[in-house]
Amino acid sequence: MSANDQQQLQNLVFSAELNVENENLEQLGPIIKTIYDTDRQETFLEQLAMFVRKKEGEIERMCNSNYQEFIQSVDQLLKVRQGTVNLKNKIIDLNYDVQNSGKKVASKKKELIQTRRIQKNIDEAVETLQLCLHVLDMANRVNHLVEERKYYSALRTLEELRTVHLRKAIQYEFAKHLQESIPVMQHDVKNAVTKEMKEWLFKVRQVSGEVGKIAMEQMKLRQERWKLKVAQNPDLRSVPVSSPIEMVMNEENEFNIVNNDQVHIDFKPLYQCLHIYEELGKRNEFKSNYEEDRRSQANLVLSQSFTLREGNEKGFESFLQDIVGFFVVEYVIVHSTQNFRSQTEVDNLWDSVIAKVVKIITESLDECHDPKLFLQIKFSLFTFIQTLEDYGYNVHAFTDLILTVFQRYSDMLKQRFLEDFLQTLLYDDYMPMPISSPAEYEAVVDACWFKEDHRISQGYPRTLPFSQAYPSCCLDIKKFVDQYYTFAEGDSRQFSTVDDIAKQTLDNLLIEHVNGVLTSKLESQNMSQIVQIIINLEYFHDACGELEKLLKTKRSSHRGGQIKLKAAEEFRETSKKAEKRIFELVNSKIDDFLELADYDWVPNSVQVHPSFFLHDMVNYLTAVISSTLYNLPMSIKIFIYFNALSHLASSLCNLILSPSVKKINANGVANLEVDVTFLEHFARKLEDPNIADAFLELRQIVTLLQSDNVEEYLDPSTRNRKYSLLKPTDVINLFDKWQDQPLLAMQPEERVKKRAMESVNERISTLSTMVKRTDCVSSNTKGEVLISRLYRQDLKRSVADIFRIQVISNTDVRSPIITLGSTSFFHVRHDNLYIVAVTKCNANAALVFEFCYRLVNIGKAYFGKFDEEAVKNNFVLIYELLDEVLDFGYPQNSETETLKMYITTESVKSQRAVKEDSSKITIQATGATSWRRSDIKYRKNEAFIDVIESVNLLMSTKGTTLRADVSGQIMMRAYLSGTPECKFGLNDKLLLEKDTSHRGLSQKRTNAVEIDDCQFHQCVKLGKFDSDRTISFVPPDGEFELMRYRTTENVNLPFRVHPVVNEIGKSRVEYRVTVKANFSPKLIANNVVIRIPTPLNTANINIHVDAGKARYVPAENSIVWKLSRFQGQSEETLSGEAELSSMTVKKAWSRPPISMDFQVLMFTSSGLMVRFLKVFEKSNYTSVKWVRYMTKAGSYQIRF
């Protein structure tokens, strides 16, 4: 065994000694393994035996050293054992002695225990009897407490009995029975307190009217106190009672409405009942019962009947007082309890009551026709509203009622005013009003805002220009305004609405009643009456300005801006109608004089004196102007003169130009010249010498016929200087009638003149056959007419003179549009020319001016410049251009490049030309179509027509149609070869009437459509349309808009919407919207979208629809209901509820209208249909025609 192995074994033994408890011999394994690996087992065993002998020797040495001590310990243990045995014997003896003594004590103990057990049983019996008696006593005391109305004490006793005392006696039968009876006894307590509560409610119902009366009286006192403060400080006028400012400035009022000298309401029964129910855990039951009882009482109040038929408002006031008293009590309960009566519940009750209250009041007002009673009702109603508002109730629902009452009162005032006004007119003498004293004069001045006029004599008696009806009417109007604002007094929040209604009502009163009645009087034949009406109208016009000032002073102080009454313009228009009526009467008289005229146009001699009827007519005009028309302004007199003499001149012109006059000679013209000279002399003596220009055309006719050189008419400069008013067609007419005698019998100079006339006729024949009349006038700045064209028969040649007098000679005129009666003058000034368009239709002013400026551009393109010289030098060419750009007054082609394609004449100065040269000028370039080439070819010839209509609707909340019209367009796609002519007809009203008249039908067609306005593409031949309503045209290639039209009559609405929207308090809004399709069930509407507005504070929406899909769009504040298809004659409904957030909305929901969008194929709202479509082309090819209809929504809105 190596030294190393010996060392490891030594270490192992040492380690084992230290860790014997853990038997840590893990190191032995490697050593043994090493011994076996080296094959030294024998050596290891020998060494191990030596190690064991060594350790045994060590142990023996250790035992030998401690042996004596061990022997001594054993001896001591033996002695202790003997003592223990002795002690045990003594204990046994002692235990025997103790056992003998304890037997006596145990017997005494048993006797004591038995005695104590008997005593305990007796004590328990006594205690139990006392407990039972106490329980019975408490049960009996509950009934006494209920009888004494000490309900809470009774409940506490029952609770104590149940939770404390009965538990101790629960083992007894009577206790169990009593415990089962406790709920019954609690129910008895509840019934008793409920009965007392019912009695209290009945008493409250009896005194509610008195409470309401006191509350309204207190509000009246506050109103009176506030009126005094407003009188001291007018700036407070817009501040209402119950506002923060009023509450701060008004005196504090500690008056208790429910506890005072007149009425006393003890709320103890309510509070006690609430307390008892709360103790019973049935608070919600009591709240429900109370709400039901109060709702029943509210219905009982609403069931009261009263009438205003006999002018008795006591029932009405009693009704209002009951309502106020009812909700004042509710207010007190809400603010004197906690978690019982919430403000929301009271508001819901109020919302359910308010609609019925409004309905009852509205129905009762139908029986009232007395304005004074209406005024009392308004004040009572206003106090009622302010009282409830002071207690925090929402009274916005009464706003419409107040406005309805206001409107009814206004209507009664207007009716009374009309009756008084008609009565005044009945006794009016239509003469200037005489004034006999200063007091009477001051009364008139105060009544009608009359201002001193220096033309009126200052002494007495004096005469005022107007008749007695004017100051009487002004006095009634002032009274009307005062009564109006007296009715509106107090409610400053309605000032803006009241001001607007006041202005509108006064406007309607002046327009419909005053102006309307005066207008109806214009049918009179009495000229002096019409003159007085004109004067009265002038004063009424001036009074409108004073009334505007009056309204401005009456209205709310915080509102600014101007007030403009439309009646002023209406009075002005009626005054013009009256002037026109005077013109008609004067002209009628002139026509009577003209009937006496017996002109001989081929007399044998010349008369020296003018015709006798002219003397009578001049005397008549002089007498009328100086007497009947004396009070009229000089400007009107001058215009009457001008109109009358213009009418006379026109009649004389028509007389000589009449087809009935076949011949005229020099003597006839000389006689006419005598009459014209007489009339010119009379006109020059008048105030305005320009009146003589009315006979200018007659003078030019006489001058031309008496001229020795009639060919000078062909010279543009001479013609424009001497014969500017003579039209070529009239000259031809006059020259044709100039036949004194056969040509061979004439004198040489007469023969030369006749031949000259024939030559002139021949030269201007091409012009005379072009157009008879025009409504386009061109004149220079001096008023000389250079070019004139009348396209319609509703205007006369003298229209140019009216423009010269009213515009050119009047330096005050600045407007480019002047309307005289029913005639409108649109003028444009360019260089030294006036281009004037005249019409009696309601033309589009912008388009008229655009056309005038285009004429100027055409003139510049042809002549280089467009001035007086250019017009005079290009007379014939300008007439040709006018004929091309206008057709029957309709603008046709104003494109310069297109015109130059077939009017190729250069800008040259007009000279005398022979007939051959004149024939080169083309009047009409037939077949020239700038919008289409002639070489177009298609394999398949097709024409598509789409009739597309946009229907516009605005429906009121009451279901009446405020606006319904259709804007339509006819789109065409033409894929046709060559240069085809298309024709198609529509079932518009004029076409059907014409067809009926041609066919002799007596029945009226029911499918007629009246087209109010239409516009055509330039390819349409308007002459054909005006003659037989057939649309004839050469279509452009491709797609274009053929026609645009508008109708307002008999609009067939594709959809009807019936919305029912109710605001339930401030918390939610209920919707029920029904949409019905009015078109045929065979048709279907596509892409139908209905947008239903919601309040701004909408939090959530629950929606149910019969068809389609609906969702709430917060960004639009609306419910969007989409239906992809909508069958005709079907009906769909949307119902839902919008939950509102609790945010305070100061401004009431304005309720924007419901809007719709849709498309309905093969349907037209106007009823317009294409009756036929024909295509004509020289190659006679076959074409395919398609027609399609579609109606879509324009502005389709329904108010709710």
Q: Which domain holds residue 49?
A: 3-65
Residues of the chain above pLDDT 70, percent? 82
Residue 766 counted as domain residue: no
Buried residues in 22-43 as b, exposed as e (16+ CB within 10 A): eeeeeeeeebeeebeeeeeeee
Q: Where are the alpha helices (DSSP H) in 19-162?
A: 28-38, 41-64, 67-147, 151-160
Q: How far is CA 617 from CA 585, 613, 682, in A?
A: 13, 6, 11
| Range among 360-364, 552-556, 741-745 with highest mean pLDDT value | 360-364
Q: Is residue 533 part of a domain?
A: yes
The answer, yes or no, to whether residue 926 has pLDDT greater than 50, is no
Do 250 and 378 fall into the same domain? yes
Name the DSSP class of 1194.
E
Instruction: Tell me the CATH number at 1182.
Output: 2.60.40.1170
- Peptide bond preceding 633: is omega within 30 degrees of 0, i.e. cis? no
Cα-Cα-Cα-Cα dihedral sign, residues 366, 371, 374, 378: positive
DSSP 334-400: HHH-SSSS-HHHHHHHHHHHHHHHHHHHHHHHTT---HHHHHHHHHHHHHHHHHHHHTT---THHHH
Q: Where are the alpha helices (DSSP H) in 714-771?
A: 716-722, 728-737, 748-768
Q: Does 946 have pLDDT greater than 90?
A: yes
Q: What is the mean pLDDT of residues 1014-1019?
A: 86
pLDDT given for residue 1153 in this prediction:
92
The reply to whether 672 falls in a domain is: no
Q: Which amino acid is at 825?
A: F
The pLDDT of residue 1086 is 92
Long-range contacts of 13-22 (CB under 8 A, 24+ apart): 13/51
Looking up tokens 């598509």, which residue turns up?
Answer: 944
- Is residue 648 in some structural domain? no
Q: Please give the residue that has the higher pLDDT: either 174 or 838.
A: 838
Q: What is the pLDDT of residue 377?
A: 78
Q: Is residue 417 within 8 Å of 409, Cβ to Cβ?
A: no
- What was the pLDDT predicted at 48? 83
pLDDT in tens, 274-329: 888 887 888 888 888 888 888 888 888 888 777 776 666 778 888 888 888 888 88
Q: What is the DSSP letter of 664?
A: B
Taking only the tens place, the pLDDT of each residue in 54-83 is 888 887 777 676 666 667 777 777 777 777
Whether residue 559 has pLDDT greater than 60: no
Strands 981-986 and 1170-1176, by their bridges, are antiparallel
**Gap between the Cα atoms of 216 and 226, Å rounded:** 15
- Helix, coil or strand: residue 708: coil
Render pLDDT for 884-896 as a digit per residue (tens, 0 to 9). Answer: 888 767 777 778 7
The answer on 1107 and 1009 residing in a single domain is: no
Rounded to an integer, the average pLDDT of 573-582 is 84
Residue 1010 has pLDDT above 50, yes or no: yes
Residue 671 and residue 790 in contact, taking contact as beta carbons nearer than 8 Å: no
820 and 894, same domain (yes or no): yes
Q: What is the pLDDT of residue 812?
A: 60
The residue that leads in pLDDT, 1108 or 399, is: 1108
Residue 658 in any domain: the answer is: no
The yes-or-no verdict on residue 52 having pLDDT over 80 is yes
Q: Quick: pLDDT tens for 489-509.
A: 655 555 456 677 777 878 888
Hey, what long-range contacts does 907-910 have (CB within 8 A, 24 or more apart)? 907/862, 907/863, 907/864, 907/874, 908/874, 909/873, 909/874, 910/716, 910/873, 910/874, 910/875, 910/876, 910/877
pLDDT for the residue numbered 288: 84
Residue 664 pLDDT greater than 60, yes or no: yes
Per-residue pLDDT band for 1003 (boundaries 50, 70, 90) equals very low
Res 782: pLDDT: 57
> Given this model, what pLDDT does residue 996 score?
38
Nearest partner of 330 among 316, 303, 317, 349, judged by Cα:
349
How many angstroms separate the CA atoms of 204 and 215, rounded?
Answer: 15
The last residue of one of the domains, among 579, 606, 633, is 579
Using the 3D structure, point to which of 551, 579, 607 is the last residue of a domain: 579
Using CA atoms, how far residue 788 sits from 14, 772, 878, in Å, is: 151, 11, 10
580 has a pLDDT exceeding 50: yes
User: pLDDT tens digits for 825-837?
Assistant: 888 888 878 888 8
Amino acid letter at 1135? S
pLDDT, tens digit, 9 for 90 and up, residues 207-220: 888 888 888 888 88
- Report how far residue 901's alpha carbon sits from residue 928's, in angstroms, rounded to the nearest whole number: 8
* Angle at CA of residue 602, ends 598 and 608, nearest 5°: 70
Mean pLDDT to the nearest integer, 1023-1046: 84
Residues 1149 and 1061 in one domain: yes
Q: Does residue 969 sit in the same domain as residue 1040? A: yes
pLDDT value of position 997: 39
Question: Is beta strand 942-955 parallel, antiparallel or unpaired with respect to 1184-1198?
Answer: parallel
Distance CA 15, CA 31 (A): 14
The per-residue DSSP string of 1121-1135 comes to: EEEEEEETT-EEEEE
Q: Which of 138-142, 196-200, 268-272, 341-345 has the lowest mean pLDDT?
A: 138-142
User: Of 1139, 1157, 1175, which one is at a domain's C-terminal end?
Assistant: 1157
CA distances from 479 to 371, 403, 448, 476 (A): 13, 20, 12, 5
594 in a structural domain = no
Asked whether residue 548 falls in the same domain as residue 436, the answer is: yes
Token pair belonging to 171: 């083992």
Per-residue pLDDT of 783-810, as tens digits, reads: 677 788 777 766 766 677 677 666 766 6
Residues 1031 and 1070 in one domain: no
Same domain, 502 and 415: yes
Q: What is the DSSP letter of 1178?
A: T
Cα separation, 713 vs 727, in Å, equals 10
pLDDT at 240: 60
pLDDT of 1091 over the 90 cut: yes
Q: Are 624 and 638 in contact (CB under 8 A)?
A: no
Residue 614 has pLDDT above 80, yes or no: yes
Query: How many angstroms from the chain centroid is the CA of residue 775?
Result: 41
Residue 513: the pLDDT is: 80
| Residues 201 and 312 reside in one and the same domain | yes
The arrangement of strands across the sheet holding 1068-1077 comes to 1055-1064, 1068-1077, 1131-1140, 1098-1105
Pair 269, 303 in one domain: yes
More confident residue, 472 or 455: 472
Residue 210's pLDDT is 86
- Residue 436 and residue 519 share a domain: yes
Judgement on whether residues 428 and 541 belong to the same structural domain of the protein: yes
Q: Which residues contact residue 896 at a Cβ distance below 8 angstroms, ignoring those fewer than 6 apart?
A: 857, 858, 861
Within a 10 A sphere around the Cβ of 470, how many other Cβ atoms? 27
Helix (H) or strand (E) holding 1064: strand 1055-1064
DSSP classification of residue 164: I
Lowest mean pLDDT among 45-49, 52-56, 404-408, 855-859: 404-408
d(CA 434, CA 436): 7
- Given this model, what pLDDT does residue 798 score? 66
168-182, 431-445, 863-877: least confident range: 168-182
In this prediction, residue 905 carries a pLDDT of 59
Category of 1108 on φ-ψ map: left (φ > 0), alpha (ψ -120 to 50) or beta: left
**Percent above pLDDT 90 for the chain:** 10
Q: How confident is the model at residue 1157 (pLDDT cuts 50, 70, 90)?
A: very high
**pTM, full prediction:** 0.46
As a whole number of angstroms, the distance between CA 207 and CA 267 comes to 13
The residues, any chain, with a CB within 8 Å of residue 475's CB and separated by 6 or more, are 447, 448
Q: Which of 18-32, 193-207, 865-879 has the lowest mean pLDDT?
A: 18-32
Does 651 reside within a domain? no
Instruction: Report residue 994's pLDDT band, with 50, 70 and 90 as the boundaries.
Output: very low
How many residues in the chain? 1200
Query: For position 887, which CATH number holds?
Result: 3.30.450.60
Question: What is the number of structural domains in the chain?
Answer: 6
User: Which pLDDT value is given to residue 9?
Assistant: 60
pLDDT at 1148 over 80: no
Residue 833 CB partners (closer than 8 Å, separation 6+): 778, 779, 780, 781, 786, 866, 867, 868, 871
What are the tokens at 1059?
A: 């919305």
What is the pLDDT at residue 972? 92
Whole-number average pLDDT of the chain: 78
- What was the pLDDT predicted at 1089? 96
Q: What is the CA radius of gyration of the chain?
A: 58
At residue 658, does pLDDT exceed 80?
A: yes
Q: Let me know if residue 496 belongs to a domain.
A: yes
780: Cα within 13 Å, side-chain hemisphere:
13
